[in-house]
Amino acid sequence: MKKLVTGIVGSAALLMSASVGSAATLDDVKAKGEVACGVHTGLAGFAAPDDQGNWKGFDADFCRAVAAAVFGDASKVKFVPTNATERFTALQSGEIDLLARNTTWTLSRDTSLGFNFTGVNYYDGQGFMINAQKLPGINSALQLSGAAVCVQTGTTTELNLADYFRANNMEYNPVVFQGFDETNAAYEAGRCDAYTTDQSGLYALRLTLANPDEHVVLPEIISKEPLGPAVRQGDDQWFDIVKWTLFAMIQAEELGITQANVEEMKGSDNPEIKRVLGQEPESKIGSMLGLENDWIVKVVGGVGNYGEVFERNIGQESPLKIARGLNQLWTKGGVQYAPPVR
Amino acid sequence: MQEHDLSFVRAEMVLAQAAPSRERGLTAWLRKNMFASVTDTILTLLGLFLIAWFLPGFLRWAFVDAQWTGADRTVCATASQGGVQPDGWSGACWAFVNAKFAQFMYGRYTLSERWRVDLTAILFVLLLVPLLIPRFPRKGLNAILLFLVFPFVAFFLLVGGYFGLRYVPTTEWGGLLVTMVLSIVGIAISLPFGIVLALGRRSQMPAIKLICVIFIEVVRGVPLVTVLFLASVMLPLFMPAGMTFDRFLRALVGVVLFASAYMAEVVRGGLQAMPKGQYEGADSLGLSYWQKMNLIILPQALKLVIPGIVNTFIGLFKDTSLVYIIGMFDLLGIVRQNFTDANWASAQTPMSGLLFAGFVFWIFCFGMSRYSIYMERRLDTGQRS
């Protein structure tokens, strides 16, 4: 059913893409005075409301970064919460200009749904968690043959799970739920032996378990889940703006430019920093994108560099405490790498 | 004298005496209601056992061990969960509800503009309460104010954009505000609309009858979830680029259509319960169709179906939670959404939040239910056997 719906939505979307895609998104956004940004309806660390109801999180901050690039003001974002099915239509129909909703970049989504992924802002991977008290002695996912596995339906997670067990010739018994809450509750109640979802989700789940110490995350990562922002196909200028916003945040971290020191850094003698911050005479790093030349100053001043956004929302400064891992800079053993800003 | 011949008959009445002790007081009540038979006794003991088993633990969890204030998840988590409570602690996390209370009420409604929501609510209560209490005079003026003037006032106050009020888009609405607006508008429109549909379905005119039957059967035959889903996922694709209907409006229309179709069937039940003589009596007085309906049939028919009508209202009130399908957050939706705030994620948060949401829903539903019982008694004109 889900596939059918996605298929219908996809084909309808393709029919539409010719007419929608030709519009200049940047002009629309400027006319509206805000970036309409599709986010998750609620995912710990990525997009969730704080006590005052403001959207907080890794994806929400990316939306703010794009707004800062366009308007020089990180607050000019209209957050549109979207669920798993709705997200694609919302982008296609023009209800949102940008989808930053921890969406996995896959070939079929990139081609058949009529939009472009602008990069990978978070490298995730699917893992398993088990209750070590209940299943002592299990320390590898390869020992899970015959296990009942809790999984959320309609996601790539479910398909990866099937692939993994088939590839390793193991039996398993999927216990399928619609939402994150129900899946968590079922796992906590002991209805299944193992729980599988993206690792970022496993960290969020641990926060809600009664006895987190009893549960262990198995070492196997069974899938690649590159999560990235997406825009409509057919508007290369907007695609470039969103893509380079992400690169600029990574570049800023690499150069040690932070939210706190960005103003100071404008006077730096380092030619690369001067270039990135648009402080060179006759700088064109903004005008080539249709933006102000100091747009990276606004992005970093508005939300911080990639590392700051990561640590604040999902890293060590947040309750989730996710390690940087693959999302570390390429210079420090990760794979976050930005092409040169010049 | 003759009376003296009958002197064995008592000359004065025996004074009334108190009922025997076994027929009054607590013991009698207990015997009559709790231990009347063996089965009753077993059930009573079982009930008492369940209460004794469940209640102390619940009270302890909900009140004694509960955390009422706090800044983040640490107050609601044990040491091994990364909090400050001793291991093995389990208690309600009312601190979560406390911290998020404003959000549960208003959603993301602009902070500085929330007085507008309060004002709307106060106006509504001031107009509604006198209308509900029979003793208050000037019902006609009151009804005009509530049903004709108030909707416009409420619209301008809540949405804004006119008279110097800031525009607050409906995407920022949420919480109890959304629940109340959806259900009040739904209730206010579905009752008259449902009555018209019910009359149309029983009409002699084929075209009107057909339209009403098709509307009712189609709307009743499709789940609300489906309509909301189609309206949010499919509809935008068929519209010109960039043109979007307000989501809230989509939800409102869906909810109103649904409630109307159900209401029509409830009212039809009342119309069919009227004896034929009532219709014929009205006709024989020479009343027109509308006079007949207004003066004779509807007052009796609606009174008969008060429980059904209120049942539909309560169902509608609770169905508003389905708007989460289209990315709107009613009370339940916003409570659940806040479970994902990592600053408050703990083992106790979901249970506390859901209990709070359940309690608020219960207050409103119970209120409606009690008022309907009161109305039934008041309007009871002796048809009850």
A237 and A325 in one domain? Answer: yes
Q: Which residues of B touch A43 (CB under 8 A)?
A: 340
Indicate the number of domains in chain B.
2
A132 and A109 in one domain? Answer: no
Flag whether residue B100 sits within 8 Å of chain A, measured between CB atoms. Answer: yes
- The token pair at A289 is 């994108």
Indicate yes or no: CB of A208 within 8 angstroms of CB of B326: no
Q: Is there a domain that residue A341 lies in?
A: no
Using DSSP's 3-state secondary structure scheme, residue B375 falls into helix
Of B181, B55, B74, which Cα lies nearest the Cα of B117?
B181
Using DSSP's 3-state secondary structure scheme, residue A80 falls into strand
B100 and B53 in one domain? Answer: no
> Given the DSSP bridges, would you call strands A147-152 and A126-131 parallel, antiparallel or unpaired?
unpaired
**A115: enclosing H helix or E strand:** strand A115-117
Indicate yes or no: CB of B81 within 8 angstroms of CB of A207: yes
Indicate the number of domains in chain A.
2
Give Cα separations from B266 to B85, B272, B313 (angstroms). 53, 10, 11
A30 and A148 in one domain? Answer: no
Q: Which residues of B touch A11 (CB under 8 A)?
A: none
* Cα–Cα dist B248/B254, whole Å: 10
Mean pLDDT across chain A:
86
* Cα–Cα dist A313/A316, whole Å: 9
Kindly tell me if the per-residue pLDDT of A309 is higher than 70.
yes
Flag whether residue A104 sits within 8 Å of chain B, measured between CB atoms. Answer: no
**What residues contact residue A324 under an 8 Å CB cut-off, 6+ apart?**
A307, A310, A315, A332, A334
Domain boundary, last residue among A224, A243, A273: A224
B59 and B107 in one domain? Answer: no
Nearest-Cα residue of chain B relative to residue A25: B242
- Across the range A207-236, mean pLDDT stands at 87
Phi and psi (nearest 5°) for A152?
Answer: -90, 135
Residues in chain B with pLDDT values less than 50: 1, 385
Which pLDDT belongs to residue A3? 46
Which pLDDT belongs to residue A16? 45
Instruction: Provide the number of CB pairs (under 8 Å) joining chain A to chain B.
Output: 134
Per the CB < 8 A criterion, the answer to whether A259 and A300 are in contact is: yes
State which residues form the domain around B279.
Answer: 94-378
A237 and A328 in one domain? Answer: yes
* Cα–Cα dist B111/A53, whole Å: 10
Using DSSP's 3-state secondary structure scheme, residue A150 falls into strand
Comparing CB atoms, the residue among B232, B339, B341 nearest residue A181 is B339
State which residues form the domain around A277.
Answer: 25-121+229-332
B50 and B103 in one domain? Answer: no
Comparing CB atoms, the residue among A43, A54, A86 nearest residue B233 is A86
A175 and A296 in one domain? Answer: no
The complex's ipTM works out to: 0.78
Which pLDDT belongs to residue A20? 45
Q: Is there a domain that residue A1 lies in?
A: no
**What residues contact residue B235 under an 8 Å CB cut-off, 6+ apart?**
B245, B250
Cross-strand bridge partners of residue A151:
A176
Flag whether residue B52 sits within 8 Å of chain A, measured between CB atoms. Answer: no
Backbone φ/ψ region at A190: left (φ over 0), alpha (ψ -120 to 50), beta: left
CB atoms closer than 10 angstroms to residue A119 = 18
Domain boundary, last residue among A202, A224, A246: A224
Indicate yes or no: CB of A23 within 8 angstroms of CB of B242: yes
Which pLDDT belongs to residue B126? 92
A113 and A50 in one domain? Answer: yes
Q: Which residues of A touch B352 (CB under 8 A)?
A: none
A116 and A89 in one domain? Answer: yes
B26 and B134 in one domain? Answer: no
* Cα–Cα dist A334/A301, whole Å: 24
Q: Is there a domain that residue A294 lies in?
A: yes
Nearest-neighbour CA in chain B from A260: distance (Å): 24
Indicate yes or no: CB of B82 within 8 angstroms of CB of A95: no
Domain holding B257: CATH number?
1.10.3720.10
Q: Which of residues 347-366 of B touch A (CB under 8 A)?
A: 347, 349-350
Per DSSP, the residues of B3-42 read HHHTTTS-SSPPPP-PPPGGGSHHHHHHHHHTSSSHHHHH
Indicate yes or no: CB of B103 within 8 angstroms of CB of A85: no
B152 and B51 in one domain? Answer: no
Q: Is there a domain that residue B268 lies in?
A: yes
B307 and B257 in one domain? Answer: yes
Kindly tell me if the per-residue pLDDT of A7 is higher than 70.
no
Flag whether residue B113 sits within 8 Å of chain A, measured between CB atoms. Answer: no
Which pLDDT belongs to residue A11? 47
B56 and B187 in one domain? Answer: no
Flag whether residue A23 sits within 8 Å of chain B, measured between CB atoms. Answer: yes
Q: Which residues of B touch A19 (CB under 8 A)?
A: 241
Q: Is there a domain that residue B115 lies in?
A: yes
Q: Is there a domain that residue B15 lies in?
A: no
Indicate yes or no: CB of A51 within 8 angstroms of CB of B329: no
Q: Which of residues 43-82 of A touch B (CB under 8 A)?
A: 43-45, 48-54, 56, 78, 80-82
A219 and A79 in one domain? Answer: no
Q: Which residues of B touch A208 (CB under 8 A)?
A: 339, 345-347, 349-350
Interface test with B, best of A50, A51, A113 (most B CBs within 10 A): A51
Q: Is there a domain that residue B237 lies in?
A: yes
Flag whether residue B98 sits within 8 Å of chain A, measured between CB atoms. Answer: no
Q: Is there a domain that residue A250 lies in?
A: yes
B197 and B50 in one domain? Answer: no
Q: Is there a domain that residue B5 lies in?
A: no
Flag whether residue B144 sits within 8 Å of chain A, measured between CB atoms. Answer: no
Helices B175-201 and B306-319: crossing angle in degrees, nearest 10, is: 140
Nearest-Cα residue of chain B relative to residue A50: B341
Q: Is there a domain that residue A12 lies in?
A: no
Flag whether residue B321 sits within 8 Å of chain A, measured between CB atoms. Answer: no
Indicate yes or no: CB of B327 within 8 angstroms of CB of A82: yes
Q: Which of residues 276-315 of A touch B (CB under 8 A)?
A: 314
Alpha-carbon torsion, ordered B21, B25, B29, B34, to 10 deg: -90
Per the CB < 8 A criterion, the answer to whether B96 and B344 are in contact is: yes
Nearest-Cα residue of chain A relative to residue B90: A210
B368 and B261 in one domain? Answer: yes
Query: Which tens digits make up the pLDDT trace of A22-63?
Result: 458 899 999 989 999 999 988 889 999 888 888 999 999 999
Q: Is there a domain that residue B73 lies in?
A: no
**A228: enclosing H helix or E strand:** strand A225-232
A15: pLDDT confidence band, cut at 50, 70 and 90? very low
Query: Which tens digits make up the pLDDT trace of A121-151?
Result: 999 999 999 988 888 888 888 888 888 999 9
B263 and B346 in one domain? Answer: yes
* Cα–Cα dist B362/A60, whole Å: 35
Nearest-neighbour CA in chain B from A172: distance (Å): 28
Q: Is there a domain that residue B289 lies in?
A: yes
A236 and A220 in one domain? Answer: no
B40 and B103 in one domain? Answer: no
A18: pLDDT confidence band, cut at 50, 70 and 90? very low
Comparing CB atoms, the residue among A89, A213, A314 nearest residue B233 is A89
* Cα–Cα dist B214/B221, whole Å: 10
Q: Is there a domain that residue B328 lies in?
A: yes
Per the CB < 8 A criterion, the answer to whether A171 and A146 are in contact is: yes
Helices A58-71 and A236-254: crossing angle in degrees, nearest 10, is: 110
Which pLDDT belongs to residue A52? 84
Per the CB < 8 A criterion, the answer to whether B53 and B46 are in contact is: no
A254 and A185 in one domain? Answer: no
Of A191, A173, A23, which Cα lies nearest the Cα of A93?
A23
> Given the DSSP bridges, would you call strands A126-131 and A194-198 parallel, antiparallel or unpaired?
antiparallel
Domain boundary, last residue among A207, A224, A241: A224
Flag whether residue B95 sits within 8 Å of chain A, measured between CB atoms. Answer: no
A233 and A113 in one domain? Answer: yes
B357 and B275 in one domain? Answer: yes
* Cα–Cα dist B277/B281, whole Å: 6
Q: Which of residues 169-198 of A touch B (CB under 8 A)?
A: 180-181, 185, 188
Cross-strand bridge partners of residue A78:
A36
Alpha helices in B204-305 (DSSP H): 206-221, 224-229, 247-273, 276-284, 289-291, 298-304
* Cα–Cα dist A208/A213, whole Å: 12
Domain holding A180: CATH number?
3.40.190.10
Q: Between vectors from CA A46 to CA A44 and to CA A51, what angle results, nearest 5°?
A: 60
Q: Which has more pLDDT, A155 or B18? A: B18
Which pLDDT belongs to residue B77? 87
A117 and A236 in one domain? Answer: yes
Which pLDDT belongs to residue B244? 63
